Amino acid sequence: MRHGLNRLAIGAMLPGLVPLVLLAGCAVGPDYKPRANAELKVPRAFVASDPSEADAEPLDLAQWWREFDDPVLTGLVDRAFTANLDIASAAARLAQARATLRGTQGQLLPTVDASGSVNRSVGNQSSAFIDPTTGQTVSRGGDTTIYRGSATVAWEADVFGRIRRSVEAARADAQAQAANLAFAQAGVASEVGLNYVNARLAQIRLRIARDNLAAQDDTLQIVGWRRQAGLVSSLDFEQARQLRSQTAASLPGIENDYLTAVNRIAVLLGEAPGAITPLIDPPASLPLAPGVGAPIPAMVVQRRPDIRQAERTLAAQVARIGVQTAQLYPALRLSGSFSGSATSVGNVIDDGVGQLLAGITAPIFQGGQIRAAIRGQRASADAALASYRSTVLVALEEVENALKGREAAERSVRDVSIGAEAAANALIYAQDQYRAGLIDFQALLDAQRTRLSSQDSEAQARAARATATIQLYKALGGGWESAPTPAAGPYEGGTNSKTRP
């Protein structure tokens, strides 16, 4: 067996390579350390939280929409998880980040390329030729087959951690994209819930307006008869007509609100506008908002995906400081090659020639480019830290506002319900007194107008309570834990993925 490997040359290089290889355990640049809650200014308790609920167990926010006990809402959210295009886009970005991570991890391993060929000559005369690979004279007679093979190997010893820091950054990027997917899932769930409440509210407001319009039509007809009989003046008739037209004018706007909400739900489900209208068209009551306990702020930091995404983005930027810093230090690269040819496959390796080379490259003069890149990357890490801290504070702000908003909505529902009941009773009394001639027609119209306004306000107050509850669930970061894993896209591989010419 012939070997072209120069053992003496390799032995001479080893003393200089050993110190560099021993340094391979270190990685330059700062190590990332998570920030404490005190540094992020996370308080011990929410200002707007109810002290009586401080010890209450937090709700299971993973499937908060089921707490509303509305099968239609539950079905819509479940469909959105599997069909929403924003979620599909976020899932594709996650798959891309994971592929980048795998590619970066591959830089830690040697690369090997191999090639081979077979050359067959057909002839009746004997001949001889010199093999350009080995330099030997090869004789052949008649049919001759020559097998050739070659291989190259390359590997970079990650002495100062440039590749390891790159893997660290790529892993943090992938984790940030996973958090971004969870954030998209939580956002879609809340958007479906909010628009569903708006759609049901519009249905109820339409029913209230149409019921009042029918009553006002009856009143207008009665006043018209009384005017013809000379019992009332034309002023009463015109006032009744004006109230009736005002109520009728409100219908198109409410109908538009309904269609806007339903069409938005359709798009959230990956459907064309109008595709799910038949599902929601049957009238139904507003979903009943459940009670909500007050969890501690630490849960918000742990649960909210956008906070996790900001934290992982910061970790990636810190790791890239090490990537840039490693450019200041030498790089050790090893490479090897092998080639051979023979008249049989088994002899290709025996008759082959191989060599191993080691090279060290180090920056001498770069015009300050490397240190400028390091300073730029440190600035990027500072910006990521500021964004992370801002995300935490905004999250706490949203929870505080959502807690206060739901508390206000609860009080509003109680007060408005009392007002709606009083307005309905007042209208009954006004109708009786008007028939008895004890009040004028203007008082009756005012009672009708007040009743319509009170019914509409009561419906909006109940919808505001449901909306405030959904916003609180969203602020707490609920709605993504139970979301199914998105299916792979058509270009991520599989039997149905084809490349067109």
Query: Angle at Cα 61 formed by Cα 470 and Cα 192, nearest 5°?
Result: 40
Three-state secondary structure call for residue 141: strand
Query: What mean pLDDT is predicted for residues 83-100?
Result: 94
Architecture of the structural domain at 27-111+158-330+370-475: Up-down Bundle (1.20)
How far, rounded to the nearest angstrom, does the alpha carbon of residue 372 sit from its chain's CA centroid? 34
Question: Residue 29: which of 291, 325, 230 has the closest Cα?
Answer: 325
Q: pLDDT value at position 166? A: 94
- Looking at 62-200, which runs of residues are DSSP E strands? 111-121, 126-130, 137-141, 144-157
Residue 410 class from Cβ within 10 Å (0-12 exposed, 13-18 middle, 19+ buried)? middle
Residue 225 pLDDT greater than 80, yes or no = yes
- In sequence order, which residues have a C-beta less than 8 Å from that of residue 228 and are 6 or more positions away? none
Q: pLDDT value at position 498? A: 43
pLDDT confidence tier of residue 122, bands split at 50, 70 and 90: low
Residues 370-381 have pLDDT tens digits of 999 999 999 999
Query: What mean pLDDT is predicted for residues 248-259?
Result: 94
**Distances in whole angstroms, Cα of residue 482 to Cα of each of 48, 68, 454:** 28, 17, 40
Q: What is the CB-side half-sphere exposure of residue 113 using CA atoms within 13 A?
A: 6
Q: pLDDT value at position 351? A: 64
Residues 469-480 have pLDDT tens digits of 999 999 988 888
Q: pLDDT value at position 13? A: 44
Segment holding 239, helix H or strand E: helix 234-268
321: left (phi over 0), alpha (psi -120 to 50) or beta: alpha
Residue 12 pLDDT greater than 60, yes or no = no
Residue 485 pLDDT greater than 90, yes or no = no
Residues forming a β-bridge with 339:
150, 353
- Rounded Cα gap, residues 83 and 487, in angstroms: 10
Query: What mean pLDDT is predicted for residues 286-313?
Result: 81
pLDDT confidence tier of residue 126, bands split at 50, 70 and 90: low
What are the extents of the domains in the chain?
27-111+158-330+370-475
Q: Other C-beta atoms within 10 Å of 199: how many?
A: 23
Three-state secondary structure call for residue 374: helix
Which letter, b or e, does each residue of 421-432 get, where b requires 16 or more Cβ atoms within 10 Å of its Cβ? eebeebbeebbe
pLDDT confidence tier of residue 383, bands split at 50, 70 and 90: very high
Residue 359 pLDDT greater than 50, yes or no = yes
Asked whether the beta carbons of 337 and 151 are under 8 A apart, the reply is yes
Three-state secondary structure call for residue 260: helix
- Rounded Cα gap, residues 373 and 364, in angstroms: 16
pLDDT > 90: percent of the chain: 38
Instruction: Give 319-348 as a 3 state SS string.
Output: HHHHHHHHHHCCEEEEEEEEEEEECCCHHH
Helical H runs in 356-479?
A: 369-435, 441-475
Residue 132 vs residue 495, higher pLDDT: 132
Residues 161-204 have pLDDT tens digits of 899 999 999 999 999 999 999 999 999 999 999 999 999 999 99
Which letter, b or e, does each residue of 486-497 get, where b requires 16 or more Cβ atoms within 10 Å of its Cβ? beeeeeeeeeee
pLDDT confidence tier of residue 449, bands split at 50, 70 and 90: confident
Three-state secondary structure call for residue 119: strand
Q: pLDDT value at position 2? A: 39
- In sequence order, which residues have a C-beta less than 8 Å from that of residue 362 and are 6 or more positions away? 329, 330, 331
pLDDT confidence tier of residue 309, bands split at 50, 70 and 90: very high
* Full strand arrangement of the beta sheet holding 353-361: 111-121, 144-157, 331-342, 353-361
- Rounded Cα gap, residues 225 and 212, in angstroms: 20
- Rounded Cα gap, residues 55 and 400, in angstroms: 18
**Distances in whole angstroms, Cα of residue 494 to Cα of each of 211, 247, 497:** 57, 59, 5
Query: What mean pLDDT is predicted for residues 385-394?
Result: 94
Asked whether the beta carbons of 192 and 270 are under 8 A apart, the reply is no
Location of structure tokens 């190997």: 153
Structure pTM? Answer: 0.82
Residue 249 vs residue 10, higher pLDDT: 249
